[in-house]
A and B are shown apart, each in its own frame.
Chain A
Amino acid sequence: MPEKLVVGYDGSAAAKRALDFAVAVAKAQNASIVIAHVLEWSPYSFLTPEELEERHVRRRRELERAEAHVITPVREKLADSGIEIETVMRYGHSAEVLLSIAKDNGATQIVVGRDGQGRLAARMFGSTAANLIQVAPLPCTIVP
Chain B
Amino acid sequence: MLTRVLGALAALALLATPALAQEGGGGLDETINQIFADYTSWYVAIIFADLPGTNFSWIALWLVVAALIFTLYFGFIQFKGFVHSIKLVKGDYSDPNDAGEVSHFQALATALSGTVGLGNIAGVAVAVGIGGPGATFWMIIAGLFGMATKFTECTLGVKYRNEYPDGTVSGGPMYYMVKGFKDRGLPGGRVFAVIFCIFTILGALGGGNMFQANQAHAQLSGVLGGYPGWITGVVLAVITFAVIAGGLKSIARVTEKVVPFMGIFYVLVSIVILLRNYDEILWAFGQIFEGAFTGLGVAGGFTGALIQGFRRAAFSNEAGIGSAAIAHSAVRTKTPVTEGYVALLEPFIDTVVICTMTALVIVITGVLQQDPETGLYVWNAEAGRIMTEGGVQGVELTSAAYAQAFSWFPPLLAISVVLFAFSTMLSWSYYGMKAVTYLFGEGKVQELTFKTIFCLFIIIGSAASLGPVIDFSDAMLFSMAVVNVIALYLLMPIVRGELDIYVKRLRAGEIKKYQ
User: Chain A residues in contact with chain B, CB under 8 A?
Assistant: 39, 41, 43-57, 59-60, 62-63, 90-92, 97, 100
Partner of B102, one of A52, A62, A63, A90: A52
| Chain B interface, >50% SS class | helix
Chain B residue nearest to A40 in the complex (CB): B100
Report the minimum CB–CB distance from A37 to chain B (whole Å).
12
- Within the assembled complex, what's the spacing in Å between the Cα atoms of A39 and B100? 8
Main secondary structure of the interface of A (DSSP, over half): helix
Q: Which residue of A lies closest to B163 (CB)?
A: A56
Question: Which of chain A's residues has its CB closest to B252's CB?
Answer: A48
Contacts of A47 in B (CB 8 A): 102, 106, 109-110, 253, 256
In the assembled complex, the CB of B420 is this many whole angstroms from the nearest CB of chain A, namely 14
Taking a contact as CB atoms under 8 Å apart, the answer to whether B106 and A56 are in contact is no
Alpha-carbon separation in the docked complex, A97 to B103 (Å): 17
* CB-defined A-B contacts under 8 Å, sample of 15: A43-B105, A46-B109, A46-B110, A46-B113, A47-B106, A47-B256, A48-B252, A48-B426, A49-B114, A49-B326, A50-B430, A55-B332, A56-B102, A91-B99, A100-B96
- Tell whether, in the assembled complex, residue B99 and residue A41 are in contact, meaning their CB atoms are under 8 Å apart: yes
Which residues of the partner chain B approach A39 to less than 8 Å between Cβ atoms?
100
Provided the pairs A54-B168, A55-B330, A56-B169 are in contact, do residues A49 and B101 lie with their beta carbons within 8 angstroms? no
Residues A57 and B168 in contact in the complex (CB < 8 Å), given A46-B109, A49-B427, A100-B96 = yes
Nearest CB in chain B: distance from A81 CB, A:
28
Beta-carbon contact of A44 and B167 below 8 Å: no
Instruction: State how many angstroms separate the Cβ of B87 from the closest Cβ of chain A.
Output: 13
Q: Are A56 and B99 in contact (CB under 8 A)?
A: no
Residues of chain B in range 93-124 having any CB-CB distance to chain A below 8 Å: 94, 96-97, 99-107, 109-110, 113-114
Q: In the complex, what residue of chain A is closest to B428 when comparing beta carbons?
A: A49
Nearest-neighbor residue (CB-CB) of A46 within chain B? B256
A52 touching B327, Cβ below 8 Å:
yes
A49's partner among B91, B166, B430 (CB-CB below 8 A) is B430
Determine if B100 and A53 form an interchain contact, defined as CB atoms under 8 angstroms apart: no
Cα separation A56 to B333 with both chains bound (whole Å): 12
Within the assembled complex, what's the spacing in Å between the Cα atoms of A132 and B327?
37
Q: Which residues in A have their C-beta under 8 angstroms from that of B256?
A: 46-48
When C-beta atoms are compared, the residue in chain A nearest to B106 turns out to be A47
**Smallest CB gap from A59: residue in B:** B100
Q: B504 at the A/B interface (Cβ < 8 Å)?
A: no
> Contact at A43–B91, with CB atoms within 8 Å?
yes
If the complex has contacts A57-B166, A57-B168, A60-B167, are A49 and B327 also in contact, measured as CB distance less than 8 A? yes
Q: Which of B103, B105, B170, B427 contacts A53 (CB 8 A)?
A: B170
Report the separation of the CA atoms of residues A50 and B253 in the bound assembly, to the nearest whole angstrom.
Answer: 10
Residues of B within 8 A of A46 (CB): 106, 109-110, 113, 253, 256-257, 259-260
Let me know if B249 is at the binding interface, CB within 8 A: yes
Residues of B within 8 A of A (CB): 91, 94, 96-97, 99-107, 109-110, 113-114, 166-170, 249, 252-253, 256-257, 259-260, 326-327, 330-332, 426-427, 430
Q: Report A-chain residues with C-beta under 8 Å of the C-beta of B249.
A: 48, 50-51
In the complex, the answer to whether A52 meets B106 with C-beta atoms within 8 Å is: yes
Top 9 A-B pairs, shortest CB-CB distance: A91-B100, A43-B103, A91-B99, A52-B330, A57-B167, A49-B430, A46-B256, A48-B252, A59-B100
Check if A53 sits within 8 Å of B169, measured CB to CB: yes
CA distance A97 to B96 in the complex (A): 9
Q: Is the CB of A41 within 8 A of B430?
A: no
- A55 B110 Cβ-Cβ under 8 A: no
Q: A46-B110, A47-B256, A48-B256 are in contact. Are A56 and B168 (CB under 8 A)?
A: yes
- Contact partners of A57 in chain B: CB under 8 A: 166-168
Q: In whole angstroms, how far apart are the Cα atoms of A91 and B330 in the complex?
A: 18
Nearest A residue (CB) for B167: A57
* Residue numbers in A under 8 Å from B427 (CB-CB): 49
Tell me the nearest residue of chain B to A57, going by C-beta.
Answer: B167
Question: Please, which residue of chain B has its CB at the minimum distance from the CB of A56?
Answer: B167
Residues of B within 8 A of A60 (CB): 167
A43 contact from B99, B257, B327, B426, Cβ within 8 A: B99
A38→B223 CA distance, assembly (Å) = 47
Most A Cβ at <10 Å: residue of B91, B105, B427:
B105
A72 CB to closest chain B CB (Å) equals 19
Q: A49-B110, A49-B330, A51-B253 are in contact. List 7 more A-B contacts (CB 8 A).
A: A43-B94, A47-B106, A52-B110, A59-B100, A91-B99, A91-B100, A92-B96
| Beta-carbon contact of B327 and A55 below 8 Å | no
What is the bound-complex CA distance between A56 and B169, given in angstroms?
A: 9
A50-B431 Cα distance, complex, nearest whole Å: 10
The chain A residue with its CB closest to the CB of B100 is A91
